[in-house]
Chains A and B, each alone.
Chain A
């Protein structure tokens, strides 16, 4: 049993940088390009780890601590998130609250590091990041509350174990709403296209990327790896709801869930290719709408 505890963290630590690769390949396919190699994020990480760094004279130790804290928080978040029926190292009532707040810690210190540079661009990014995440957090927690109400459980593992095809037939309409709301959170938290463009090249239009403009070398590698892990964590959450596979064969379940995560990355690529970026002032509306859906889900799941 104990070996199973380590399966998901290990897989995630190894495979997380694959997800941005898949998304980018999908986007490239839709744009009619060949695109970067699937393993591009690994190459980037390897390159950055070997580099030195340039720091601004304005910055303090907080600037250097930011990437460490955001990566650390993302690593812990992965460990707390179960993949399907795989057990997690820690599981307690309300563990998803800790997970959400760990991600918030990472974000808070990323913002701190951005403000530490004294750059107007990074200040702008920091301000936007805080605004959107403040709206995304209630959506995520109310959505999780709806899941908890549906399954009657308060730990992520139990929730994942109790969402089954039967649950889908009982309160499927609620689950659809939750999935849509969480998808919105996913797009916001991971700086994906209708909200933020990870590939944009104008500082004024960026949200997440602009905050890390001044980071380089191992610091940037930490940030890249951390955001890949965050992408993985939230993908797993969505896949746990959408593909509730509970056969007797644990290995089969794990493999199916993993494939689900990879397919989800393709879906994200499709979403990014087919949607235009929202105007910045529309994003709060988008998130409030998602919040309305998650509240509606909580109401509809009568249990």
Chain B
């Protein structure tokens, strides 16, 4: 435990040191990056130890804050979340070290490193904190430091607006958490988490339900459940890419962590919690990927995919919770294991994809998919790693996305063949997972195919350069992580038993027994996959041998015999690729089209443009906030600038309070 605290301290210290070394961008970067790397490696040691042994380490000391105590504890659930928090963040920071050098003249890099290191430190603190005050303080530091990172390019108007959206969303979420913890603390008698747990039996049904809904809203805002997801597609494109990678791959998972931790306080869940979670997972998953497919900006697209993947994780958790309420140990084990594994998987491939998008921006100066094309030839490293990320996120074998989705699927299928389970949510899980899988594959066929394959569609993409070796190697590390998770998945699945034991309160040994068959299936999958890869080698060799003595020519792509060689602009674009699907789902998307058709015999200007703004942002939050503005403008007469009347207000308030208190 002390090792972890040391890592947190080192993170904060190196961040401050980087700030003070801010005069020289290079030194500041070196301090910031090396501090973060060392502390992440140091911090991973206790995390892996706890996760593999299933032990609990804690540390407690007094803290001079009312209701607060410095009480931290590292159990298996925290340790599981520490792995992406420390492991993936470290790699992203490494990438950022080189990525940020472009901005060294416009920005003060010292601040950027302070906020990054504080963000990582606060995320660590969030998952180990066992006191509500400590948790909320860490939560706020996490929100604020990420806010400052989002507004890194504060001199751009769009970035400032995105920052505002993020700040307001995250503060609203925290407000719900505040209520949640006050209610918990009031009945537990203390704000320490262990007191919450001792009150297991004392929750009456209604209040547990209220607490659960509060947690869904509060933590769901951070995690990005639809309809609380509106900040994601704004904040992620605005932030520098390595920060988007950390925020999307790692930070939003703290919302999932908070939800799971709250579940441990609330005792055994009623059946409708499982239904609700599965419903949220379905809507977030399907709508997330549908919105993603309609986007033109690569980072916005990836941000919506985070909503989708949070949906998949929630589906897993939902199956687990449903399993608890109908007492199906298989569903508990498979659902939670799939969900938790997807937390780690998503951290790896989503960060990888954001770093890839960062490399594209670095090389071409744009993230508009329709302006790119043919990048694979010029940027082979970025291309291959992005492809690995794309295959992984589409849930295709042989990469890690498939493993976790497979577990969730089997969890749903085992439920579906039992007699007593409610069928509707499970049909929903199976159908929506399959739909999400197909849509994600379509979306990444678009994202990768249009930007990396074919010919360049604009000058931006015509002459890109491959990024530097530090950025390249951090992407390679994440891609390797995706592969390693697959190889070790039969072992990893066993390690999930102790975090699930923390969530459900079931004994680890029985969970291990439930997960043992899953581990066997994964071994078989590994066999199939390795034979598949071997087969690919054989097929490639056969093809090579067949073509060895034959004539192999290079020519143009088949273009119906046009004399003019087709330029890059004649290719299919991302918008046209996605059009059948966006048209099909126009009921949910509300894509607007502006079309100026070519006119006359010699048509000159014509244009076509589609735009898919977020329906929830415009129709729910738009009206909500304009309503609030209207309401507060009605109160403006109250604020008139006469000081003596203000003093009167204070006096009257005090008097009323006194009367209320005495009366």
**What are 21 inter-chain pairs, A to B, with CB distance below 8 A?**
A54-B554, A58-B454, A58-B557, A90-B527, A92-B520, A92-B525, A94-B409, A100-B434, A102-B532, A108-B396, A115-B450, A119-B559, A148-B413, A149-B416, A154-B417, A214-B557, A217-B547, A218-B543, A222-B539, A298-B416, A303-B417
Of the residues A59, A64, A134, A140, contact of B439 by C-beta under 8 Å: A134
Of the residues A59, A64, A124, contact of B572 by C-beta under 8 Å: A124
Determine, out of A32-40, A68-76, A192-200, the stretch whose residues face the partner at the interface.
Answer: A68-76
Q: Is the CB of A119 within 8 A of B558?
A: yes
Q: Is the CB of B417 within 8 A of A128?
A: no
Q: Is the CB of A104 within 8 A of B441?
A: yes
Q: Is the CB of B577 within 8 A of A123?
A: yes
| Among all A-B residue pairs, the 5 with the closest Cβ atoms | A123-B572, A134-B438, A118-B454, A115-B449, A52-B550
Of the residues A94, A140, A142, contact of B427 by C-beta under 8 Å: A142
Q: Is the CB of B552 within 8 A of A145?
A: no
Number of interface residues of A (CB under 8 A): 82
- Is B553 in contact with chain A by the CB < 8 A criterion? yes
Point out the residues of chain B lying under 8 angstroms from A272, CB to CB: none
- Is A213 in contact with chain B by the CB < 8 A criterion? yes
Q: Is the CB of A137 within 8 A of B532?
A: no
- Is B423 in contact with chain A by the CB < 8 A criterion? yes
Chain A window 121-137, contacts with chain B (Cβ cutoff 8 Å), 1 for yes, 0 for no: 11110111011011111
- Assembled-state Cα–Cα distance A68/B537 (Å): 9
Q: Is the CB of A94 within 8 A of B410?
A: yes
Q: Is the CB of B442 within 8 A of A130?
A: yes
Determine, out of B60-68, B102-110, B206-214, B578-586, the stretch whose residues face the partner at the interface.
Answer: B578-586
Number of interface residues of B (CB under 8 A): 82
Q: Is the CB of A72 within 8 A of B417?
A: no
Q: B residues near A, CB below 8 A? A: 373-374, 376-377, 387, 391, 394-397, 402, 406, 409-410, 412-414, 416-417, 419, 423, 426-427, 430-435, 437-439, 441-442, 445-446, 448-450, 453-455, 517, 520-521, 524-525, 527-528, 531-532, 535-536, 539-540, 542-543, 546-547, 550-560, 566, 568, 570-572, 576-581, 584
- Assembled-state Cα–Cα distance A80/B529 (Å): 12
Point out the residues of chain A lying under 8 angstroms from B402, CB to CB: 101
Point out the residues of chain B lying under 8 angstroms from A123, CB to CB: 454, 571-572, 576-577
- Is A170 in contact with chain B by the CB < 8 A criterion? no
Of the residues B395, B527, B559, B577, contact of A101 by C-beta under 8 Å: B395
- Assembled-state Cα–Cα distance A20/B543 (Å): 23
Point out the residues of chain B lying under 8 angstroms from A142, CB to CB: 427, 430-431, 434
Nearest-CB residue, chain A, relative to B541: A68
Nearest-CB residue, chain A, relative to B432: A138
Point out the residues of chain A lying under 8 angstroms from B397, CB to CB: 98, 101-102, 105
Interface of B is mostly: helix
Q: Is the CB of B453 within 8 A of A57?
A: no
- Assembled-state Cα–Cα distance A56/B556 (Å): 5
Point out the residues of chain B lying under 8 angstroms from A218, CB to CB: 542-543, 546-547
Q: Is the CB of B417 within 8 A of A60?
A: no
- Assembled-state Cα–Cα distance A126/B579 (Å): 12
- Is A117 in contact with chain B by the CB < 8 A criterion? yes
Nearest-CB residue, chain B, relative to A299: B423
Point out the residues of chain A lying under 8 angstroms from B448, CB to CB: 112
Of the residues A75, A111, A154, contact of B535 by C-beta under 8 Å: A75
| Given pairs A53-B553, A54-B555, A126-B449, 20 additional interface contacts (CB within 8 A) | A58-B374, A76-B532, A93-B414, A104-B396, A105-B391, A112-B445, A115-B453, A116-B454, A118-B455, A118-B571, A119-B558, A119-B559, A119-B571, A134-B435, A134-B438, A137-B438, A142-B430, A145-B413, A295-B431, A298-B427
Of the residues B439, B556, B571, B581, contact of A120 by C-beta under 8 Å: B571
Of the residues A95, A127, A134, A140, contact of B441 by C-beta under 8 Å: A134
Q: Is the CB of B557 within 8 A of A80?
A: no
Known interface pairs A90-B528, A115-B445; A62-B413 also in contact (CB < 8 Å): no
Known interface pairs A56-B556, A298-B416; A111-B532 also in contact (CB < 8 Å): no
Task: Tell me which of B391, B446, B542, B557 has the highest count of chain A C-beta atoms within 10 A of its own C-beta.
Answer: B557
- Is A277 in contact with chain B by the CB < 8 A criterion? no
- Is A219 in contact with chain B by the CB < 8 A criterion? yes
Q: Is the CB of B572 within 8 A of A145?
A: no
Q: Is the CB of B540 within 8 A of A68?
A: yes
Point out the residues of chain B lying under 8 angstroms from A141, CB to CB: 409, 430-431, 433-434
